[in-house]
A and B are shown apart, each in its own frame.
Chain A
Amino acid sequence: MKQEITAMKIQWLSERELRILMPPDALTPGLRRKISQSDGPSGSIVTQGAHAVHFLWDPRTQPLLKDPTSLQRKTEAWIEALVVDSPKKIEAETNASSKFTVPVRYGCDPLMTHDLERLARLNRCTLEEIVRRHQATTWFVAFSGFQPGFAYLEPMPGSPAIDAPRHETPRAKVPAGSVALGGSYCGIYPQEGPGGWNLIGETSLSFLDPATGTGIWQTGDLVEFV
């Protein structure tokens, strides 16, 4: 654990924003959930990305920014405490999670067939095998972004891998409800919009809460596709 903490890389990205780059695999579902549910250190807004956690302060109200070394130390201590406190076993990590089961119509239009064939070619397998791996994977909500209500779903450790490089030129229009793979992530487009991921299917379930404009899921929740 000590090793993990010392492997964090810390960088100021402006007078008001600190980035902590986490070691590979450190951002487990349990730790991500703890981060998302905790008040940020010294009144910061905390945002998670693929490998980093960012802390943003309001320079109008946070005088500690004048002493960045001490603010940095407080922030490191904050995240170290969460690392120590987060469950160590996958089972324990996911106990507190909700689980969503999402029905998908795979390859139901020519764009999706095209992208499924692309993934089959890149992964040297059949189209059916891509679908099988997608369904055999338990995904977890890692962080949000891109569009309101969009969640980046990461495969739980030990899941079958699908290599899904993004399209070099994003499509101008991807329909709402599209289920897509990009890099190692899976996502469901909450609204129609541009997108560079590989479309594999569509779902009629909506995960956008119209009242808040955000997703109905919490960081760390589990998602399975059927």
Chain B
Amino acid sequence: MSLFEIIKPAAAMVTQPVPMDPYASAVLNRILGLPRNAPVMECTLTGPVLKANQNILIALAAPEGHLGLPVWESIPVPAGETVDLRRLGGTSRIYFAVRSDGDEPSRFRLRTESLIRIKTKPDVPLSWADAEIQLTDQTFRILPASDRRGIRCQGAQKIKGGREIAPEPMTYGAIQLPPSGDPVIVGPDGPVTGGYRRVATVAFSGLRRLAWLMPGEQVRFTKITPEAALNHVACLEEALARDLMPC
């Protein structure tokens, strides 16, 4: 018997080999005592209603204060009870992981502190930017046409210098500039090669910020050095190893 059944499905729910937030899955799995790379569910704009088939533990990742449920900690759900994740309350995406709770509920009741949680809305860090292109001196709006393939940004000022190029490799976090002057951040389901000029790359530690961007949200980019980018990753790794506390 599976751990839970889905009573009301979500429009966009996937188990992704490449989560938009590479840390959400690691933290949820850590909270539940599961292997780091165990699959988690990623839902966009709305989530499902689940019913526990046995005693389970569920952990949710979302910015705080949106869901009306505790986030970044394990929640015991007794057999037969439901969890309603339909109302994301103004966040774009949630992640959840589930494990069996056996006969002794709440064995893995852990929560995470500080660093790994999303508390503020920091700038998106760029660990490389083409010197000819000015991306950091204005605010961009996230357009509704954004999805896991690409996050479309629009600034008040169009950026000059965008053009078509012979196709070159792209990766999650690459920023392309088409001739329109509105940058596009390549998402985890984006093409492996792209035909617009590559003008910047989001630092690895900034990818998690991209996962929580809402259409209409304002965002700024900030330039950081590759050394700083690697330090952020080291800090996140350290926090992941250390920063989990018993409730």
Assess whether A223 is interfacial by the CB under 8 Å rule: no
A183 to B137, CA, bound (A): 35
Are A166 and B128 neighbours in the complex by a CB distance under 8 Å? no
Q: Are B167 and A56 in contact (CB under 8 A)?
A: no
Residues of A within 8 A of B171 (CB): 17, 47, 54, 56
Known: A13-B201, A60-B237, A145-B191. A50 touches B166 (CB 8 A): yes
Cβ A66 vs Cβ B233 within 8 A:
no
A17 and B233: CB pair below 8 A? Answer: no
Contact indicator per residue, chain B 141-175, by CB within 8 Å of chain A (1) or not (0): 00000000000000000000000101111110110
**How many A residues are at the interface, by size bracket?**
20 to 34
Min CB–CB distance B238 → chain A (angstroms): 11
The stretch among B48-56, B70-78, B85-93, B192-200 that forms the contact with chain A is B192-200
- Chain A contacts for B202, CB-based, 8 A: 14
- Chain B residues with CB under 8 Å of A192's CB are none
Q: Which has the most chain B C-beta neighbours within 10 Å: A15, A166, A183?
A: A15
> Bound complex: CA of A52 vs CA of B164, how far in Å?
16
**Does A68 sit within 8 A of B, measured CB to CB?**
yes
B54 → A minimal CB distance (Å) = 33
Q: Which residue of B lies closest to A168 (CB)?
A: B179
A65 and B225 alpha carbons, distance in the complex (Å): 13
Cβ contact of B226, chosen from A15, A47, A50, A147, cutoff 8 A: A15
Whether B193 lies near A47 (C-beta < 8 A) is yes
Counted as pairs of residues, one from A and one from B, with CB atoms less than 8 Å apart, the total is: 85
B230 within 8 A of A: yes
Contact of A50 among B167, B173, B237 (CB under 8 A): B167
Q: How far is the CA of A66 from the CA of B232 in the complex (A)?
A: 12
| Residues of B close to A48: CB separation below 8 A | 169
Which of A51, A68, A183 has a CB less than 8 Å from the CB of B168? A51
Q: How far is the CA of A54 from the CA of B169 in the complex (A)?
A: 6
CA distance A53 to B192 in the complex (A): 12
Of B174, B194, B204, B227, the contact of A145 (CB 8 Å cutoff):
B194
Complexed CA–CA distance, A14 and B226 (Å): 6
Q: Flag whether B127 is at the interface (Cβ < 8 A).
A: yes
Q: Type the 1/0 row for A99-140, where 1 means its CB is closer than 8 Å to any CB of B.
A: 000000000000000000000000000000000000000000
The reply to whether B127 and A145 form a contact with Cβ atoms under 8 Å apart is no
Given contacts A14-B226, A14-B229, contact A49 B204 (CB under 8 A): no
CB <8 Å contact, A14 and B193: no
Closest CB in chain B relative to A10 CB, distance in Å: 14
Residue-wise, chain B 209-247 has the 8 Å CB interface mask toward A (1 for contact) of 000000000000000001101100100010000000000
Tell me the nearest residue of chain B to A52, going by C-beta. Answer: B168
Cross-chain contact A49 with B169 (CB below 8 angstroms): yes
Contacts of A51 in B (CB 8 A): 166, 168
In angstroms, Cα B170 to Cα A48, docked, is: 10
Choose among B170, B193, B202 the residue with the greatest number of A CB atoms under 10 Å from its CB.
Answer: B193
- In the complex, residue of chain A having the shortest beta-carbon distance to the beta carbon of B22: A60
For A14, A19, A144, A166, the residue with the greatest tally of chain B CB atoms inside 10 Å of its CB is: A14
Say if the beta carbon of B203 comes within 8 Å of chain A. Answer: yes
Mask, A151-178, CB within 8 Å of B = 1, is: 0100000000000001000000000000
Report the bound CA distance from A17 to B167 in whole Å.
17
- Closest partner residue, chain A, to B204 (CB atom): A59
Can you name the residue of chain B whose Cβ is closest to the Cβ of A57? B204
- Knowing A15-B230, A59-B229 are in contact, say whether A183-B166 is a contact too (CB < 8 A): yes
| 8 examples of A-B residue contacts, CB within 8 angstroms | A13-B201, A14-B204, A15-B127, A15-B128, A47-B171, A60-B22, A68-B226, A146-B191
Known pairs A15-B233, A16-B229, A60-B237. 18 more at Cβ < 8 A? A14-B173, A14-B202, A14-B229, A15-B204, A15-B226, A15-B227, A15-B229, A15-B230, A19-B169, A47-B169, A49-B166, A50-B168, A51-B166, A54-B168, A59-B230, A60-B204, A143-B167, A145-B193
- Sorted nearest first, the 8 A-B pairs with minimum C-beta distance are A145-B193, A50-B166, A14-B201, A49-B168, A47-B169, A15-B226, A15-B229, A54-B169
Interface on B for A, CB 8 Å cutoff? 22, 127-128, 164, 166-171, 173-174, 191-195, 198, 201-204, 226-227, 229-230, 233, 237
Interface residues, chain A, CB within 8 Å of chain B?
12-17, 19, 47-54, 56, 59-60, 65-66, 68, 143-147, 152, 166, 183
